[in-house]
Amino acid sequence: MSAPLYSLARGGFTEVCHRGEVVVVDATGVIYQSSELRGVYPVRSLLKPFQFFAAGHEPNAIWAPAVGSISATEAQVAQIRRWHPAIPAEMVVPASYPMEETFRAALKISQQNPSPYFHTCFSKHMAILKACEIEGWDLKSYAQTNHPYHERLLNLMGTLLGDASRVKGWVTDGCGLPSPVLDIRDTAELYRQLAVSENLEPIRKMMIENPTWVGGDGRVDTTVMQLNSGKVILKDGADGLLGVGVLPCAKYPSGLGIMIKLDSGYLLAALGIVMARVAEAIGLEMGAIRLRGHELNYHFELFKNSEKSVIDISPLIHEGSGVFPGDIPFRRQVSLDSQKGQHLTLSSMETTLHIGAHVDAPNHFGGKLGIDKVSLNPYQGPCQVIRVVKKTNEVIMPEDIAFHDIRSSRILIQTLSYDPSKPYQEDFVALASETIRALKQRGVILVGVDTPSIDPCHSKDLPAHHAALSSEIAILEGIDLSGIKPGVFELSAMPLRIQDGDASPVRAVLGKVGV
């Protein structure tokens, strides 16, 4: 599952949020990943340096465009036409217009037809077709996975990754060639190998010496390579991929392989913003970011919190824990005690089910289902902590949450109006039934509060509870949100399977997946 990488806000209100993944590897394996699970993606254009290596040509200026995805400026296309004056009949590259906007617009205004010369993959196909001629391979079938060229490419990836079976499958790229599908970790390792492998040194040198043929002016890969010549290799790709190979240095003696993936696809500005964060962390130069009135908020930081850390939001349960006046307090009775020389410790407890962090079942306030029969889905998944400031004994109204940027279907409301370390307090902040219905309209499936109840202490008709029942919103009460910065997290608060239980204590925790 991907996580937020950055968001853009205006006046404190989020307008744009880009999700995706950042994965970093060194010789030991993955040393950072921004989300808990790694994705599997077609490598597509990021494979070009390795596809060229498999073609077996001597690297030189003529073949520099074969390892890149050029913008196809007028000057670039003119040079490629001089190098390759004829298009082989066997070429499967579709006719297209240039990526570069000025030249593309001029061609359309002059009503010139699209051409394979304008395609970002033209030179790569020329290199493969030339290899087929040299090797005596069939030209017409060069786009099929069982062709000798692709078998050679697969063997190369197997050598670099240690096992060719790491290729999950093949898909057809937009240029007509087969593209392998890899775990994002393995694609990052390919780019580390591109930065460190002796066998790949000629490819590495060709890319470093010809950064404008890797992409073009204004492109992220070309720009970063120009600003950090000889230190790093970059290559962007279709559908929001950016591969980074950091050459060995004192700080990273085995080099680094870095993969960036945007869920939103190929957006040049967005890739640049994520790359700026990466560049800052590893000590690379990066051009200035223009935001045009936006405030930039990053949701990841390389090499920090790379393992998912857990925050416990469950108050300690003990014999002094506050319970509703007249309810059964917590009591633990020890039958055997290993600390007193007995062979084990054995104890029992007696208490209300509504103690500490707990979830209410519908049958607690008129519904039919006990806690053993409720859906578990609301109690685990992405959640958002929001801060609402109210005076004691007040009720949170719809207008109190109207301007919050609700980004999750699970909302935890931080009121800081109840201290779980003290005896039961009756003047905590509660929720209005209208607020529950307003949250329902915004797609909320669980509401949590840092108080003993979503209704005021002495409410008899429990309007917020009944609104939650009719809105099919799960209730989590009694959590401790002191010290939690509002933001996006991963919630786990599973109830016990107590037959016909009207509630269940839970161990509620937050995973740090965003801020």
For 28, counting Cβ atoms within 10 Å of its Cβ (0-12 exposed, 13-18 middle, 19+ buried), the class is exposed
Q: In which element (H, E) is residue 151 found?
A: helix 148-161
For 203, counting Cβ atoms within 10 Å of its Cβ (0-12 exposed, 13-18 middle, 19+ buried), the class is buried
| Residue 289, amino acid | I
Q: Among residues 18, 119, 147, 364, which one is catalytic?
A: 364
DSSP annotation of 96: B
Contacts by 268-273, CB closer than 8 A, 24 or more apart: 268/218, 268/219, 268/220, 268/236, 270/18, 270/240, 271/220, 271/236, 271/240, 271/242, 272/220, 273/6, 273/18
- How far is it, in rounded angstroms, from Cα 512 to Cα 515? 8
Supply φ then ψ for residue 388, to 5 degrees.
Answer: -125, 120
Q: Closest Cα partner for 126 from 71, 187, 78, 177?
A: 177
3-state secondary structure of 387: strand
How far apart, in Å, do the first and last CA atoms of the chain sit?
A: 16
Q: HEC string of 223-266?
A: HHHHHCCCCEEEEEECCCEEEEEECCCCCCCCCEEEEEEECCCC
- How far is it, in rounded angstroms, from Cα 216 to Cα 28? 33
Q: To the nearest 10°, the Cα dihedral for 246, 251, 253, 258? A: -30
Q: HEC string of 315-353?
A: CCCCCCCCCCCCCCCCEEEEEECHHHCCCCCEEEEECCC
Judge whether 466 counts as a catalytic residue.
no
Total count of residues recorded for the chain: 515
DSSP annotation of 114: P
Q: Closest Cα partner for 318 from 417, 420, 425, 454?
A: 420
Q: Closest Cα partner for 265 from 292, 291, 236, 285?
A: 236
3-state secondary structure of 355: coil
What residues act catalytically? Answer: 364
